[in-house]
Amino acid sequence: MAKNLQLKAEVRDRVGKGASRELRRNGMIPAVIYGDKKEPLSIALPRKEMTQLIQAGGFMTHLTDIEVGGEKHTVIAKDVQFEPVRDFLVHIDYVRVAKGAKLVVEVPVHFEGEDNCQGLKDGGVLNTVRHSVEVEAPATSIPESFTINLEGFNLGDSINVSAVDMPEGVVPTITDRDFTIATIAAPAALKSEESEEADTAAEDEAAEESKDEE
């Protein structure tokens, strides 16, 4: 578990589209803190710093301490919005984290051991089905990411959630099946060759049947 991010924010006296546009022109972005049975708190954060934090990765799984007017709020990012055309940061929603709370979060999945994966050595391709796994975790023990070692997996194997080493108290939200995260799939060229071989075999078989009928 990484240390909480530390941020300082300003209170937003005005809300609405016009006020938000003015904030962005001044290098800030609007954000809101809500939850824990308290009134929402509208704040402004420095856009450059927030963009760098998001690009660094793990932003949605880190707790953040935001200081507003001398008061600290422990929160976690719930939603990050970008301008759809120019792709710049426009808004962040934070939810307060109560002491002892459990949170549902998406934890990214990474892979290692590609060089020792027999399935990849045999020409297979890593086909990622899920880039993250949704889990319920104690607020103080949210994993930054899950790492799966590919050593020991062969061509055609499925890599399921049971292959993930989860910390104590962290459980997938899907509990009724051992769902697939990735597969070691045959490349398209190999599949094409197999298909051609099957077609040739079928044609030969049909030709033999035709001879027998004659």
- 211 inside domain: no
- 200 inside domain: no
pLDDT for 144 beyond 60: yes
pLDDT at 189: 47
- 113 inside domain: yes
pLDDT at 196: 58
68 and 92, same domain (yes or no)? yes
Average pLDDT over residues 31-60: 91
Q: How confident is the model at residue 162 (pLDDT cuts 50, 70, 90)?
A: very high
35 and 13, same domain (yes or no)? yes
Order of strands across the sheet that contains 132-138 = 146-149, 102-112, 132-138, 171-172
80 and 154, same domain (yes or no)? no
What percent of the chain is modeled with pLDDT above 90?
60
What is the count of structural domains for the chain? 2
- 14 inside domain: yes
24 and 50, same domain (yes or no)? yes
85 and 16, same domain (yes or no)? yes
- 202 inside domain: no
Q: How confident is the model at residue 20 (pLDDT cuts 50, 70, 90)?
A: confident
94 and 108, same domain (yes or no)? no
Report pTM. 0.71
63 and 118, same domain (yes or no)? no
- 183 inside domain: yes
53 and 134, same domain (yes or no)? no
Mean pLDDT of the chain: 86
- 197 inside domain: no
User: Domain containing 35 — which CATH number?
Assistant: 2.40.240.10
11 and 81, same domain (yes or no)? yes
Q: Could you tell me the residue range of the domain that residue 33 belongs to?
A: 5-98
Task: Note the pLDDT tens digit of each residue in 66-104.
Answer: 999 889 999 999 999 998 888 889 999 999 998 888 999
pLDDT for 154 beyond 80: yes
- 135 inside domain: yes
